[in-house]
């Protein structure tokens, strides 16, 4: 693998995202991790979703100080719902000599069989899975077992849901998100 593809709503990007991406990069010898904010995630409610422009800018700021991290706007530039298989196909067509891996959480692996064209995704690129709190390190569907590689990242109980909840309650999010992201959220009054 040369490049790890790390997609998500990044609503907002937080320290656990950064830790997981760096540990995966190091463990699997990835040249880079491409952070891919979803424009319209298929499995997320739009109710608490900050605008795509805000999420892209927060992600840009979060990854700016790591030369191995890169913001990739492929899903933002493509209209409609963000389906992983379309992203994988497009990137493989554009970069035929690059080996990609897909970084996902174990909570996503639990529902991977429900994704759009999961078999094709798994056949095209390995699934690089990090443990999420409360989720067991088991591949729930045997058909994907040979396509999964687990990341030995620390389990961190930080989530976008928690961060948004803390903001609504007027509580601190310091150290849960990078300082540049916290400043951006504060200045724009996001998640209040």
pLDDT in tens, 35-50: 999 988 776 666 679 9
Pick from 76, 44, 47, 84: which is nearest to 59 by CA? Answer: 76
H/E run at residue 15: helix 15-27
Instruction: Count the Cβ atoms, other than its own, within 10 Å of residue 103.
Output: 27
Side-chain-side CA neighbours of 13 within 13 Å: the count stands at 31
Distances 27 to 4, 149, 153 between C-alpha atoms, Å:
11, 11, 9
Do 5 and 102 touch, CB atoms closer than 8 A? yes
pLDDT band for 106, please (50, 70, 90 cuts): confident
Exposed/middle/buried for 158, CB within 10 Å: 0-12, 13-18, 19+? middle
- List the domain boundaries for the chain: 3-156
How far is the C-alpha of 82 from the C-alpha of 119, rounded, in Å? 17
DSSP 8-state symbol, 143: G
| Average model confidence (pLDDT) across the chain | 92
77: pLDDT strictly greater than 90? yes
What was the pLDDT predicted at 5?
Answer: 98
What was the pLDDT predicted at 145?
Answer: 87
107: pLDDT strictly greater than 90? no
- pLDDT per position as a tens digit, 145-164: 899 999 998 888 899 999 99
Q: Is the CA virtual torsion 57, 62, 64, 68 positive or negative? A: negative
What was the pLDDT predicted at 80?
Answer: 84
Q: Name which of 12-21, 44-53, 95-104, 129-138 the model is least confident about.
A: 129-138
Q: Where are the alpha helices (DSSP H) in 95-159?
A: 106-110, 118-124
pLDDT band for 75, please (50, 70, 90 cuts): very high
What was the pLDDT predicted at 45?
Answer: 63
pLDDT band for 179, please (50, 70, 90 cuts): very high
Do 103 and 4 touch, CB atoms closer than 8 A? yes
44 dihedral zone (left: phi>0; alpha: psi -120 to 50; beta): beta
Distances 91 to 19, 122, 164, 166 between C-alpha atoms, Å:
24, 15, 32, 36
Those residues with Cβ within 8 angstroms of residue 179's Cβ, 6 or more apart along the chain or in another chain: none
59: pLDDT strictly greater than 90? yes
What was the pLDDT predicted at 27?
Answer: 96
Query: Per CATH, which fold does 3-156 belong to?
Result: Rossmann fold (3.40.50)
What was the pLDDT predicted at 125?
Answer: 97
Of residues 146 and 14, more confidently modeled: 14
């Amino acid at each position: 693998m040369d490049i790890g593809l790390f997609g998500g709503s990044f609503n907002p990007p937080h320290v656990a995202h950064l830790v997981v991406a760096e540990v995966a990069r190091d463990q699997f010898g990835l040249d880079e991790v491409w952070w891919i904010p979803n424009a319209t995630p298929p499995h997320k409610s739009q109710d608490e979703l900050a605008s795509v422009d805000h999420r892209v800018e927060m992600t840009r700021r979060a990854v700016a100080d790591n030369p191995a991290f890169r913001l990739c706007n492929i899903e933002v530039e493509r209209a409609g719902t963000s389906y992983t298989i379309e992203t994988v196909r497009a990137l493989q067509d554009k970069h035929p000599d690059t080996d990609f891996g897909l970084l996902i959480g174990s909570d996503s692996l639990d529902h991977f069989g429900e994704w759009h064209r999961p078999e094709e995704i798994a056949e095209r690129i390995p699934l690089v899975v990090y443990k999420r709190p409360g989720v067991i390190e088991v591949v729930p569907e045997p058909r994907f077992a040979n396509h999964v590689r687990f990341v030995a990242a620390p389990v961190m109980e930080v989530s976008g849901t928690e961060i948004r909840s803390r903001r609504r309650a007027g509580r601190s999010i310091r150290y849960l998100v990078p300082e540049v992201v916290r400043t951006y959220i504060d200045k724009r009054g996001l998640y209040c």
